[in-house]
Amino acid sequence: MSKPCTIHDYQQLARRRVPRMFYDYADSGSWSESTYRANEADFDRLKFRQRVAVDMTNRTTQTTMIGQTVAMPVALAPTGLTGMQWADGEIKAARAAEQFGVPFTLSTMSICSIEDIAAHTSKPFWFQLYVMRDRDFIGRLIDRAKAAGCSALVITLDLQILGQRHKDLRNGLSAPPKFTLNSMLQLMSKPAWGLRMLGTKRHGFGNIVGHVSGVADLSSLSEWTAKQFDPKLSWDDIAWIKERWGGPVILKGIMDPEDAKSAVKTGADAIIVSNHGGRQLDGAPSSIEALPAILDAVGNDIEVHFDGGIRSGQQILKAIALGAKSTYIGRAFLYGLGAAGERGVTDVLNILHKELDISMALCGERDIRNVGLHNLVNPGVFSVE
């Protein structure tokens, strides 16, 4: 195959190189996957306003996220089981993000631990928190993130219960993975992947195993995780988390204007418009469709970030033009990671940046901070009712 030049090229490579159950875990939605598909497809409804005979020199995509300077308006989203796409995957992705100059967000359900990432990077990263029933554990997890120098806490609000993901059910994927005949055959079909996994000791959930009473190995982890997602999570819980954390807080999973207003009241520093990549409530709107109403509801009261369906720099530009302060990529960087490890993540970031920069120039803009509704022919396509 010729050198990959798009995110979809890397997607095809990852599909060939990662065992099916782990590739499907990353690249799937819930139920019929209609929201998963809409996340990407709905970007096509937005059209750029092309400009000519304008000065396109000295362009910059540099901006800020919660006060942190970033090379482009992108952060690597928290993704579970990242270390199963490529051995030590979270470390590889964090290094690539640091080198490029964008934030990396470590998932609670990562394979590599908070301490692993801190030991292999030189700049602060972000940590994503799932609020579980075991509040003592959550408190200690927050303290570990603080001790590791994490510079922001991303609290995911939309996983109180798990959406029904049919690909995972058919593949028999669980947390932790159970090794059946089917799964073993999948692993054996990817020998290069297997050899890399043999070369690392990190195969479990590093943030959990050994840090929870009674959870010392993968077998005991399965029973614990099945009981831990908290259906009683409420806005009141954010207060004690913020107090324990004491730093910048970002709330992820906002899809409704009323929820956005409630998020503002918590004193959070930013919200992420996100439907969990279409992995929770199938039939919900795409993230890009939900964005304008949320922006209208909160105005300038809070920084609004965007997550969902981004596979190109043009889609980043469209989200920024609609009013998002910045964006997140999940599957896009996982494709690069699964295809080529750290180098693949770096390539994905470079592809996105080039597409963003060229598209911005052709819209007549030299500074990403000046991009807005005026760069779209049909900015009201997702009308606020």
**Closest to 247 (Cα-Cα) out of 152, 120, 354:** 152
Neighbours of 373 (CB within 10 A): 12
The more confidently predicted of residues 264 and 160 is: 264
Residue 77 located in a structural domain: yes
Q: Is residue 372 part of a domain?
A: no
Instruction: Return the active site residues.
Output: 276
Confidence check: pLDDT of 298 > 70: yes
379: in domain: no
Question: Into how many domains does the chain fold?
Answer: 1
Query: What pLDDT digit, counting tens, does each position of 144-161 carry?
Result: 999 999 999 999 999 988
pLDDT at 220: 67
Domain range spanning residue 215? 7-41+63-357
The answer to whether position 53 is within a domain reads: no
pLDDT in tens, 234-244: 999 999 999 99
How would residue 223 be classed by pLDDT, with cut points 50, 70 and 90? low
For the chain, what is the radius of gyration of the CA atoms?
Answer: 20
Measured distance CA(92)–CA(337) in Å, rounded: 8
The DSSP code sequence of 45-58 is G--B----SS---S
**Strands 68-70, 63-65: pairing kind:** antiparallel
The pLDDT of 186-209, averaged and rounded, is: 90
Q: Minimum mean pLDDT among 60-64, 214-218, 248-252, 259-263: which range?
A: 214-218
Using the predicted structure, report yes or no on whether residue 189 has a pLDDT greater than 90: no
Q: Which CATH number belongs to the domain containing residue 333 in this structure?
A: 3.20.20.70
What is the SS3 assignment for 326? Answer: strand
Does any domain span residue 202? yes
pLDDT of residue 176: 59
Amino acid letter at 214? G
Question: CB neighbours (10 Å) of residue 75?
Answer: 27
pLDDT in tens, 117-154: 999 999 999 999 999 999 999 999 999 999 999 999 99
Residue 156 or 162, more confident: 156
Whether 371 is in a domain gets the answer no
pTM here?
0.95
Instruction: Quickly tell me which residue has 């070369």 as its tokens.
Output: 199
Residue 261 lies in a domain: yes
Q: What is the pLDDT of residue 230?
A: 86
- Express each pLDDT in 201-222 by its tens digit: 998 899 998 888 777 665 666 6
Q: CB of 372 within 8 A of CB of 63? A: no
Within-domain flag for 56: no
